[in-house]
Structure 1
């Protein structure tokens, strides 16, 4: 069990980590595994740590929701101190983090990884109807089981699936909900009576072109109405109406309303308020870091990783798994305890669950360069495979809990930082 400290009695740490999600705990574990004598503290108010990549599987009836939740106390690594508090601001010049109640904690090195904010309120009427009236989202622990309930009970009608503007965490998750739902309806002979539509605020099905052909085969297989440049802006749950704004080629826009029997929503996503309003943020509100060293561009003793960083990689747990060892190494370099900076190459992974039992395993680095973890004769990520499904369903959850969060860097050892692209 971690040492749970009161902020009132804890005023300074060598390394202070803001956020105990996947990125924060993995970084803390990687630091302690490299140097057990290090004074590391994590700040996070949450009681529960969630394996969020599992929620798509919960929404398809593959995982049970409780299997994706562990207590925070059991998840934080031994040797790391836990401050169960809420951060409200930063003073990077004086090296202080401000907590709720105006208490401050000083640090030598700061790691910022509080994740992002799901902006449910950005869609008119959505908060009033979530979890009711056929409106759901796999982006929330308590709603993913409702997704599965709706999928099982829907016999006919219209099912709408939405994707907001980028950036969002796990850009493939909106499609995963679509494919797994359609697969269930197809297997039960209902897909003809249920018409699925996918409303994507972007202009392409997936940002890395190599994976699009395989995905389009499933769009055709499930006879999905595919709509681009369409953003969900309002939901009328009781009357089951969804309003979209369509961006036209000339830049103008128009609104239209669609009826639904089931609506799977993914909300717009932004940096947390205390990040957006801090000196650490760039003009878009994300923490401003060098994309390779993950060190802040203005404050050399600040690093950031995970969803809150302004790097252009996909915001996934797989990205955090690769970033955490890089940040751990580079923090130790900054403390004078190690030589040789490490480099993050932009790796991200998205296991696209196109049907129950098969996955298109998208793996790529900065610029959409393919970065497969396995030889193509064993697993070609551009094609749907059973092996990729077994990886997602059987291997990745224990790899997350017992590998990544324990500082075991299987297939995640950091590479040296080359001169190119470094700062």
Structure 2
């Protein structure tokens, strides 16, 4: 069992000595890299700063919204996933001072480190859509991006008999860029199977200019867009929701960039919130111009503070922000950080790998795996653009199991990286 520090405990196992490694964040990236480091060097004096008492497997929430996964199975106590040789500091980091090798906590304490790993994730900016916060979870307004709301998505999908269903996607970057579409496809498939699709007007409003950022997957996704008779509206950004009036407001850009405010009535709306770098990073010396933790895209080492590494959703590498990306990044960061500690060249290179199992219908998914520049990086010797039952089985059954007993326990199968 991991050691846990309460608010009155010292912040190092060795008196005034700093921790060898401090990890900010106990999400997928933070726990995976902690386990990876301790598997390689169990004697590390390593701490994880994380205030939450629970740990979520967020990729399952799309399945919850589609009625094929129990939301309670997506959450476990944080204590159960912190590596047993790590120190768990149950507090929130509020400030990083890389010039002093310090992290400040919300209870006034200071954590000292020799090496820092930045993995706090990103922040869901619900407040950037006017009226959304007071409408979520009622009036037909839902989102699979929140644990408590994914079951409500499924309730709405089951209850709707006709009318208009809106699905939205904000400007990039967002975590799991395919998730907005997955909610739509699973909903449409349910209505099709139950003979209701003809009575539901489905619209997908995306701030992007294209359906999916990797061109190879656009054609197979368009097949399902046509199958479900979805009206695609690009360059359309949700800016406000009036839940009681069941009206959504979008800013739609024309070819010259001129915005027009458009009102859309809905019976159901699935909202994906804007997503931003956490203030902890944005206001630190570690941030790049966009507010993310600046890293070398290959080594994941900070270019100015060489004892700092980052991975997961908060780092500046231009990869898809997915758990699959964090799984491979953890190996790169663990290997390179230990080499840095030993004064050796960094041995690992990250190729931008990310994966997005696109659940286009119940029982079939397109396993989109790609790296920097949209280069396809399939794990299996099969056409990656074809919907398959195997990809569904991986998404719905294998990957949740593997997440808890594999990725978070440093069982690093299929994590070959460049060196």
Report the TM-score, using the length of structure 2 for normalisation.
Answer: 0.97
Contact 1:211 1:382 in 2 (8 A): yes
- 1:394 counterpart = 2:397: yes
Match of 1:284 in 2: 290
Match of 2:310 in 1: 304
Match of 2:152 in 1: 146
Q: Name the SS for the 1:9 alignment partner.
A: coil
| Structure-2 separation of matches of 1:313 and 1:84 | 30
Match of 2:3 in 1: 3
Cα deviation for residue 174 of structure 1 reads 0.0
Match of 1:412 in 2: 415
Q: Name the SS for the 2:218 alignment partner.
A: helix
Match of 2:15 in 1: none
The within-5 A match list for 1:20-419 is 20-336=26-342, 340-376=346-382, 380-416=383-419
| Structure-2 separation of matches of 1:256 and 1:105 | 49
Alpha-carbon displacement from aligned partner over 1:262-305 (angstroms, at most 9, x marks no partner): 00000000011111111111111100100000001110000000
Cα deviation for residue 338 of structure 1 reads 6.5
Q: How many residues align?
A: 413
Listed as ranges, the gaps of 5+ residues in structure 1 are 417-423
Contact 2:121 2:312 in 1 (8 A): yes
Alpha-carbon displacement from aligned partner over 1:218-250 (angstroms, at most 9, x marks no partner): 000000001000000000000100000001111
Cα deviation for residue 14 of structure 1 reads 0.3
| Structure-2 separation of matches of 1:30 and 1:349 | 20
Q: Does 244-253 or 5-14 show the bigger shift?
A: 5-14
Cα deviation for residue 337 of structure 1 reads 7.7
Report the TM-score, using the length of structure 1 for normalisation.
Answer: 0.96
Cα deviation for residue 101 of structure 1 reads 3.1
Cα deviation for residue 67 of structure 1 reads 0.3
| Structure-2 separation of matches of 1:37 and 1:406 | 17
| Structure-2 separation of matches of 1:278 and 1:338 | 28
Contact 2:101 2:114 in 1 (8 A): yes
Cα deviation for residue 398 of structure 1 reads 1.2
- 1:15 counterpart = 2:15: no
Cα deviation for residue 415 of structure 1 reads 2.8
Contact 1:329 1:338 in 2 (8 A): no
| Structure-1 separation of matches of 2:416 and 2:84 | 21
| Structure-2 separation of matches of 1:103 and 1:28 | 22
Q: Does 53-62 or 92-101 show the bigger shift?
A: 92-101
| Structure-2 separation of matches of 1:34 and 1:340 | 15
Q: Name the SS for the 1:387 alignment partner.
A: helix
Cα deviation for residue 339 of structure 1 reads 5.7
Q: Does 338-347 or 23-32 show the bigger shift?
A: 338-347
Q: Name the SS for the 1:274 alignment partner.
A: helix
Match of 1:419 in 2: none
| Structure-2 separation of matches of 1:60 and 1:280 | 39
Listed as ranges, the gaps of 5+ residues in structure 2 are 13-17
Alpha-carbon displacement from aligned partner over 1:202-231 (angstroms, at most 9, x marks no partner): 000000000010000000000000100000
| Structure-2 separation of matches of 1:345 and 1:246 | 35
| Structure-2 separation of matches of 1:101 and 1:211 | 47
Cα deviation for residue 414 of structure 1 reads 3.3
Match of 1:421 in 2: none
Contact 2:299 2:346 in 1 (8 A): no
Q: Name the SS for the 1:138 alignment partner.
A: coil
Q: Name the SS for the 2:4 alignment partner.
A: strand
Contact 2:168 2:204 in 1 (8 A): yes
